[in-house]
Amino acid sequence: MKEETKQRIRKFRGDRDWDQFHAPVHLAKSIVIEAAELLECFQWDDEKYDEEHVKEELADVMVYCLDLADKLGVDTDEIVNKKMDQNEAKYPVEKAKGSSAKYTEF
């Protein structure tokens, strides 16, 4: 994420004095709540959905994720790349390509 975007999120939170409400547990709960709202966009039809509404809910999830990463002092690029390294080891192309099987089922 661009540093400018991170700073905008921090400013929004700071201007409203909301940091006091953003303990990691509260942010984790908010991520789950917003993810449920994102899923609700597809509740009755997974092909016909309001793309703008999906983008808004996805952005809500991402903002809370970035808030949590910021609160915990973690580098988002670092943790995503570390997880991708793990995923690439668990799901080698030669075994996983075209398959939805879990890595324990290869």
Q: What is the pLDDT of residue 62?
A: 97
Q: Give CA angle at 20 (18, 25), nearest 5°.
A: 105
Residues 26 and 35: beta-carbon distance below 8 Å? no
First CA to last CA across the chain, in angstroms? 34
Residue of 53, 73, 58 whose CA lies nearest to 6: 73
For residue range 51-60, what is the model confidence (pLDDT) as tens digits?
999 999 999 9
Q: What is the CATH number of domain 1-74?
A: 1.10.287.1080
Residue of 62, 68, 66, 59 whose CA lies nearest to 22: 68
Residue located via tokens 């580098």: 75
Residue 46: band (very low, low, confident or very high) from pLDDT cuts 50, 70, 90 = confident
Average pLDDT rounded to a whole number, residues 76-92: 97
Domain parsing of the chain, residue ranges: 1-74, 75-106
Say what the alpha-carbon torsion angle 88, 91, 94, 98 is, to the nearest 10 degrees: -120
Q: What is the pLDDT of residue 71?
A: 95
